[in-house]
Structure 1
Amino acid sequence: MKFLLINAVNWFSEILIFLLLARAVLSWFVNGPYNNVYKIYQVICNITEPIVAPCRRLSMRLNTGMLDLSVFLAFFLVSIVRKLIITLLLIIM
């Protein structure tokens, strides 16, 4: 049971990290709402926005200037939370 939960947490976090990376890369290629890349980008943004929005507010407080580091901050937070949850699961179970 313990390894099933650990694998589920790992799998879920890997998907989130992949979607965050895809969001960052696709943002460079979106040039209008009338192509397929924009539609894919919108779906990825809708999935990842609940994670990225608090990171964006935090980066605004840190005054990062013109750089929007919220996606990269979310990437690192997902990695840290994954490691914390897996460590807790190993300790508890």
Structure 2
Amino acid sequence: MNTIIIYIVASLLRILQFLFFARAIMSWFAQGGSSQIYEFLCLVTEPLIQPFRSLLSRIDALRGSPFDLAFLLAFFVLIALEQVLYML
């Protein structure tokens, strides 16, 4: 029973990682930003990124960064959570 729950949660984390990756790739293209798929990706991933954005906005040195560090941090946290699950 415990392994089934771990497998389901790990699968959900893997799906979220894929959605993050797809959002990152689509953001590189001009027409990607206005498509319904991109809007869906933002709708799903933004609630996970927003806490990291508010946390990083408190650091003055990171406010003017050209990179979306909150996105990267959220993505790496998903990867770390998946690794922790596999260690259980």
Matched, 1:51 2:32: no
Give, as a single letter, the amino acid of the residue that structure 2 aligns with 1:83. Answer: Q
**TM-score under structure 1 length normalisation:** 0.75
Task: State the superposition RMSD in angstroms.
Answer: 1.9
Aligned to 1:82: 82
Is the CA contact (8 Å cut-off) linking 1:52 and 1:71 kept in structure 2? yes
Bigger mean CA deviation after superposition, 8-17 or 53-62: 53-62
Give, as a single letter, the amino acid of the residue that structure 1 aligns with 2:47. Answer: P
Rg (Cα) greater in structure: 1
Give, as a single letter, the amino acid of the residue that structure 1 aligns with 2:19. Answer: L
**Unaligned segments of structure 2, at least 5 residues:** none
Matched, 1:15 2:12: no
**Unaligned segments of structure 1, at least 5 residues:** none
SS of match in other structure, 2:57: helix
Is the CA contact (8 Å cut-off) linking 2:10 and 2:85 kept in structure 1? no
**TM-score under structure 2 length normalisation:** 0.79
Bigger mean CA deviation after superposition, 16-25 or 58-67: 58-67
**In structure 1, distance between residues paired with 2:41 and 2:66:** 23
